[in-house]
Structure 1
Amino acid sequence: MTRPKKRRIVGELPEVRYFKPAGVPMRDLEEITITHDELESLRLVCAEGLYQEQAAESMGISRQTLGRILAEAQSKIAKALLEGMAIRIEGADYAVPATEPHNHCRHGRFRHKTGSSEG
């Protein structure tokens, strides 16, 4: 029996859900999905410059798990850029640190989100 996936902490949610090549209608594009935890790993390691150990701690996961998530995200982004695909951001089991009182869960720490990356 496999262990259930651990909920990841995502510090920031993106303001957009899609990226696509300019000048090409969505209906003409293939699409690849990046999950919120994959995007968070890219943000922390590639954009913020954290070491993988620091990024893993921030997301509440092991360094090895972060490494797998990051490698998958990098592979998907590279494929999308090289093949001119649209990138959709959705899915994963994650928690966002609460910033407003009405977003607190009963323990007062995080808003929880669960989504499917199936499309």
Structure 2
Amino acid sequence: MPRPRKSKLIQQVPPATFYKPQGVPLARLKGLTLTLEGLEAMRLADAEGLDQAQAAARMGVSPATFCRVLAEARAAVARALSSGMAIRIEGGDYQVAPPSAAPGLGGGQGHGRGWRGGR
């Protein structure tokens, strides 16, 4: 029996979850699926510019798992763009993180500005 898959944290579900080449009827297109955690890995690495360790910590996975998810997502997007395929963003093993879980957004232990070192 395989080990259960661990959920990856994502910050939000994207507002648009389907992309296709302009001017091509949907009925004539092949498509592929990009998982939500794959999109999140690309967002953290490519849009936010986080390094592998930072991005892995944000998603709650090991750096090796993050690297694998990122490589699979990039390959899927490259395949779709170079072949004129539609991209559907859905599925995967994920949980949407609460807003306070994002680093630097007030989710810490109150040790920021004004902390007196336990006095």
User: Rg bigger for which structure?
Assistant: 2
Q: Which residue is equivalent to 2:64? A: 64
In the alignment, the residues of structure 2 paired with residue 4 and residue 53 of structure 1 have an alpha-carbon distance, to the nearest angstrom, of: 23
Query: With CA pairs under 8 Å and 6+ residues apart, which has the higher RCO, 1 or 2?
Result: 2
The reply to whether residue 7 of structure 1 matches residue 4 of structure 2 is no
Q: Which residue is equivalent to 2:33? A: 33
- Percentage identity across paired residues of the two chains: 48
Query: What's the TM-score, normalizing by structure 1?
Result: 0.80
Query: What's the TM-score, normalizing by structure 2?
Result: 0.80
SS of 1:2's equivalent in the other structure is coil
Q: CA RMSD in A?
A: 1.0
CA contact (8 A) 2:11 2:98 kept: no
Deviation at 1:13, TM superposition (A): 1.3
Q: Which residue is equivalent to 1:93? A: 93
Aligned residues: 99
Q: Mind listing any 5+ residue stretches in structure 1 that lack a counterpart?
A: 100-119
Q: Which stretches of structure 1, 4 residues or more, deviate above 2 A after TM superposition? A: none
